[in-house]
Amino acid sequence: MKSICLFIAFSLCFAFGARAESVGTLSEQLGAILNTDAVTKLEKGTSARELIEEKYLKEHGVEKVDDDFQYVEYASDIPEADGTTIGTATPGAAQNFLLSVSDQYLKVDKDGTELNKKELEDVKLKIKGLMKKLRAAGAEFGFDSNGSSACGVNYTTLYVIDVEEKTIHEFIFVTGPC
C-alpha cells in the first residue's frame, strides 16, 4: 500500500510539474537562439488580448485604443513586414513565422560567423522544440506587424505571451540591407 501511495504521489508531481519549465525560461532560451528578446511586464490584462492592448496603450501613450489598433484574433499567418495588424496568432503561425524569418535573420551566429545549411537546420529544430515546450507551458502567441521600423519598412515583432505572469516576450526581426 505504501508503494502505491508513493507511486501516485510521484505521478501527480510529475503530471503537475509539466510547467516546470516556465514560459519565461523557455522564452529566454528562444531569445538566446534568435539573438533578440525584450520583455514587457504588464499589470492589468487577464488574457492575451488584454495584455496586447495594455502594451499598445503603454507604448503609444494613449488611454484607449485608436484607429491604428487593427486587432486580429488568432491569425493563421503573420506578415513579415509592412503589415498594419496586431493580435494573437495560432501556435502554428508563430512557428511558421519564426522558421521563415530564420532563413533571413539567422544566417550568422551571435559571433557573426555564417551558418552552413546543417547548422541552420539544427537551429530550426531547436526552434521547433522550444515552440512545442512553450505551448505545453501555456504560452500564447501574438504579433505586431507594424512594429519596429528601419529604412522605411515596418518589421513584425513576434510575441510570446505569459498570461499568468502578465508578461510579453518580444522577438524583433529587422532584416535587409539597412
**pLDDT in the model for residue 8:** 44
Whole-prediction pTM value?
0.81
pLDDT in tens, 85-109: 899 999 999 999 999 888 777 776 6
> What is the mean predicted confidence (pLDDT) over 136-165?
85
Contacts of 36 (CB under 8 A, 6+ apart): 170, 171, 172, 173
User: Does residue 82 carry a pLDDT above 70?
Assistant: no
Rounded CA separation 120/108 (Å): 9
Q: Report the percent of the chain where pLDDT is more than 90.
A: 43
- DSSP-derived secondary structure letter, 166: T
**pLDDT in the model for residue 177:** 53
User: Does residue 15 carry a pLDDT above 50?
Assistant: no
Dihedral sign for Cα 178, 170, 91, 69, please: negative
Only one residue has cell 515552440, namely 131
> What is the mean predicted confidence (pLDDT) over 68-85?
84
- For the chain, give every domain's residue range: 19-172
**pLDDT in the model for residue 19:** 47
User: Rounded to the nearest 5°, which phi and psi values hold at 134?
Assistant: -65, -45
Rounded CA separation 89/29 (Å): 20
User: Does residue 66 carry a pLDDT above 70?
Assistant: yes
- DSSP-derived secondary structure letter, 81: B
Q: Report the percent of the chain where pLDDT is more than 70.
A: 79
**Between 116 and 150, the higher pLDDT residue:** 116
User: Does residue 2 carry a pLDDT above 90?
Assistant: no
Cell representation of residue 88: 494573437
Cα-only R_g, the chain: 18
Nearest to 72 by CA among 142, 14, 19: 142
What's the gap between Cα 158 and its chain centre?
5
